[in-house]
Amino acid sequence: MPPTETWLLEIAVLILVAKLLEGLSKRIRLPQVVFLVTFGVILSVFKYSAGLELSGIIEALATLGIVLLLFMAGLEGSLRFLIRGFRAAGLIAFGGIIASLAFGVIASIVLGLELIQGFALGVVFSATSVSVTVSVFEELGKIDSKEAMYIIEAAVIDDVAGLVLLSFLYTIRSAINLLYTSLIPFAALAIWFGTAFLTSKYADGLLKEVGRLGVTRGTEAFAIAILFLLAFIAQEVGLASILLAYAYGVGLASHRYFAKKIASSSEILIAIFAPLFFITVGYKLDVSYLMTVSVAAIIGVSALITVLGFLSKLLGCYIASRALKLDHRSSLVISIGMIPRSEVAMIAAATAYSLELINTSIYTACIVMTLASVIISPIVLRRLVESIK
């Protein structure tokens, strides 16, 4: 079969399976990421046992999907919302991030890893995804509660900080000296805010001019082209491509008419290509290496990483919440609501793995921790939220 037809077949099969798994996830009320990553792991087993190997274009389309997904996440927020919640929610977010980095170092000590590997683990721990948490509050009619508001605002700040730390991973191996290394997060943060601010200030006028051209879907096409250009620039300067994708979305969210118009056009691309990213996360597992490691060792490492990953957000966000004078129950709800990880955590794990900052066993453990967080946390959270009066 000619190569072109092969990758077309692969894309068709992966998209169909992804949609079927999405339907299954809705039926049994589990996040679809659980099924997508698991399917990717199954493919990696077939790669090991039967020589099945996906075309390189699948990973390229997966990258396109995750860039669009983070862009859409940005469109659902706003720069004003981020700044407004920075004082209170920022303390909760940074409490969780500092604890995550600390627990990453603890993991490196326990497992006998290098400090740089512990930092990479801390970056994976630091990334929160509260979409599952928000759905719990929505189902129980408590989305307007103060706990939900703190979680949503903290998660936005957490996403920005997580992306900045992710960009740090891209350059940490090639950093020339300590001064250069320490400046990377500040430079990434400045670039993020600069992109979001300039977009919020000038995108409206620019897109209006594009609209006057009268071309088919000109505004949407131009906006998406800028998105890919920013993702390319970010990679060229040694940052994560999704860093500026998210910043661009946050800035564009200030212009609600264009944001809604572009979001509706992007949804079809995200629905098709974003699932490919989560499939590739599981597919990247080196099964041949895992076959050389004892099952007990894999379970032990996964259990340790999962426990530390849970504790990092639980303790960090709880202490920060108490510092804001919130009571015990509210602090506990917020800290548990900040535990789930998904998109950014998996991106961080995949990045650290591809940069050889973590080995296959740790990468496997990170996937287990991520999946466990989106399954277990909502169950515990539901019980606590139901008790809020």
Beta-carbon contacts of 114 under 8 Å, excluding residues fewer than 6 positions away, are 108
Quick one: residue 112, left, alpha or beta (phi over 0 = left, psi -120 to 50 = alpha)? left
Residue 334 near residue 118, CB atoms below 8 Å: no
pTM for the model stands at: 0.82
Phi-psi region of 238 (alpha: psi -120 to 50; beta: other; left: phi over 0): left
Q: Which of 86, 83, 93 is nearest to 321 (CA)?
A: 93
Per residue of the chain (389 residues), give pLDDT as tens: 445 568 889 999 999 999 999 999 888 877 888 899 999 999 999 888 887 888 888 989 999 998 998 898 888 877 777 777 677 788 898 999 999 999 999 999 999 988 888 989 999 999 887 677 777 777 777 777 788 888 877 877 887 888 788 777 776 655 545 555 667 777 778 888 899 999 999 998 998 898 888 888 889 999 999 999 999 998 887 777 788 898 899 899 988 888 898 998 888 999 999 999 999 999 988 888 888 888 888 899 999 999 999 999 999 999 999 998 999 999 999 999 899 887 788 888 988 898 888 999 999 999 999 999 988 888 888 888 777 65
Question: Residue 107 in contact with residue 310, Cβ under 8 Å?
Answer: no
Which of 125, 133, 84, 98 lies closest to 334, judged by CA? 133
Q: How far are the Cα atoms of 105, 140, 168, 196, 235 from residue 116, in angstroms, in the given order?
A: 9, 42, 11, 30, 21
Domain boundaries, the chain: 61-386
- Tally of CA atoms within 13 A in the half-sphere of 307 that contains its CB: 9
CB 107 within 8 A of CB 118: yes
pLDDT at position 1 is: 47
* Of residues 34, 86, 103, 24, the one with CA closest to residue 340: 34
Q: CA torsion, points 212, 217, 222, 228, in degrees to nearest 10?
A: 170
The DSSP result for 91-146, as a single string, is HHHHHHHHHHHHHHHHHHHHHT--HHHHHHHHHHHH----HHHHHHHHHTT-TTSH
pLDDT of residue 85: 66
* Chain centre distance of CA 151: 16
Q: Are 154 and 89 in contact (CB under 8 A)?
A: yes
For residue 387, count other CB atoms closer than 10 A to its CB.
9
Give dist(CA 274, CA 64) in Å, integer: 8
d(CA 133, CA 301) in angstroms, rounded, equals 26
The CATH code for residues 61-386 is: 1.20.1530.20
**pLDDT score, position 87:** 72
